[in-house]
A and B are shown apart, each in its own frame.
Chain A
Amino acid sequence: MEDNIALELKDVSVAYGAEPTVRNVSMKFKKNQISALIGASGSGKSTLLRSINRMNDGLATVTGQILFHDVDINRPKVNVYKVRQEIGMVFQQPTPFPMSIYENVIYGLRLTGEKDRRVLDQRVEESLKHAALWDEVKDRLKASALSLSGGQQQRLCIARTLATKPEIILMDEPTSALDPISTTQIEATMMELKKDYTIIIVTHNMQQASRASDWTAFMHQGNLIEFNQTTEIFMNPHEQATNDYLNGKFG
């Protein structure tokens, strides 16, 4: 695998029943870059994203190869729990657990058996700073995570994902439940995060893809139509379908 590639999909198809929702997608995600998956509802972008860290296990059949560090993580024998710690996920809606802010952040870390208070404290601070939430919550780490605003909760969920030190962060429409100000904050956070992480984001908001991503993949009816640098996709799309979608002719 080339050095600057974080993840490679080879011929990935996903089917919930007989009919595939995602068809033969092959693509390479570059390290320390933000890649956006765009497309209309039902284009298969979320399904594809959720297949990457095996969240579709038991829900859908995923075929093809998903190469991560030269290992096909789509094989049945792979430890999915390890995969999910290396490839974290942020969901459409904030999903804080009903416990304190501090406990939320170190929840994934506790799984690895880490008990040293100093390590935990340090990781909480580090993760919250990375997620740009530290200044707002540092004086009330013991408060319930549910007392935070929606935008803060989503950044907390990002911090929680960061605490397990993943390499890749998958974001499934992370701002769809948030107001514009919170959305801007999350996007700014993503820009900071790409220094250390590779981000793959699903969004139905084209402006968000054009603002925040380096690479954009356009999906249509389960097929990957076009995958290129974001500026290229938006300024000079090569495919007619991409052009039609970007111009609001469907979707």
Chain B
Amino acid sequence: MDPQKSNRLATGVILCFAAIVSLIVLSLVLYLLATGLPHVSWHFLTSAASSFTAGGGIRDQLFNSFYLVILTLLVSVPLSLGAAIYLSEYAPKNRLTSILRLAIEVLSSLPSVVVGLFGYLVFVLQWKMDFSLLAGALALTIINLPLLTRSCETALSQVPFLQRQAGLGLGMAKWRVTTRIMVPAALPGIMTGAILSAGRIFGEAAALIYTAGQSSINVSYSNWNPFSPTSFLNPMRPAETLAVHIWKLNTEGLVPDATAVSAGAAAVLIIAILAFNLLARFVGGLVAKHFRQ
């Protein structure tokens, strides 16, 4: 076969594979949106879920999902960034650090249901957190740490070596070079990584069933005291998230419109995750641009 023909053939095959992948993703998203969106209304988003009758909403679950993402990021971003700074700037190349890297990789391949049961044993029972947002946030942190550490480390390692040298050449201490030059320069990548991980943990269910719980207690959205048991901000209350809600509706849903509510909730979930991904691109680009100007 002459080069031109074989090239055309190869391009065609590659295009075909790409098309299959995008088709699967697209059709899934479109199916979810087509079946779910008709049930999504302002009323659906702003009313509480009902236990037995039709017409319930997803207000609490939606809020819980976002709140849990924020709590998780509050815990996991500093941890991951610290680990990434150590790995990329300080870690010597020896057996200890290669074991550390291996441990992080193993952590990323743990099934989330295992993480959930671990969280149940340690956070919920051992540390007496009960089913709570905090226990859920800690479980999600375990899921989030490996990928977030990796993306922070990649962001840091992409800062040109000469930037480091320039800082040191000015007489800056290494810690200062790290915090004042390396981290700001890597910020677009770090933020993109954090937001993308937010999208990932937003849809997590298995790790939360035994940690954040499957029930939502009645909370008041006007009580801003996070230590009050009825406050929506209280991190020690059990909280069912959107993804857990969908799982529960499909396994033991008692409401007559369980299918419809679950479809609507799934549509909202996928829109939120898409929004996280778009936001990640947008914010990353914005921060990078800010530095260039």
What is the interface of chain A, defined by CB distance below 8 A to chain B? 53, 55, 81-85, 88-89, 91-93, 95, 97-99, 107-108, 111, 143-144, 146-147, 157, 160-161, 164
Contacts and interface: CB of A to CB of B under 8 A. Distances in A.
B171 interface: yes
A127 to B, nearest CB: 12
B292 A98 contact: yes
B3 interface: no
B159 to A, nearest CB: 9
B166 A85 contact: no
B171 A85 contact: yes
Interface magnitude class on chain B: 10 to 19
Contacts of B88: none
A188 B171 CA distance: 26
B293 A111 contact: no
B170 A164 contact: yes
A143 B170 contact: no
B184 interface: yes
A94 B185 CA distance: 16
A55 B168 CA distance: 8
A84 B292 contact: no
Given A95-B162, A98-B184, A88 B170 contact: yes
23 contacts: A55-B165, A81-B171, A81-B173, A82-B171, A84-B168, A85-B170, A88-B169, A91-B165, A91-B169, A92-B162, A95-B160, A95-B162, A95-B163, A97-B167, A97-B181, A97-B185, A98-B185, A98-B291, A108-B171, A111-B171, A146-B292, A157-B166, A164-B171
A88 B168 CA distance: 10
A108 B170 contact: yes
B176 interface: yes
A98 B163 CA distance: 10
B171 A91 contact: no
A97 B171 contact: no
Nearest to B184: A98
A144 B171 contact: no
Contacts of A164: 170-171
B291 A146 contact: yes
A155 B121 CA distance: 61
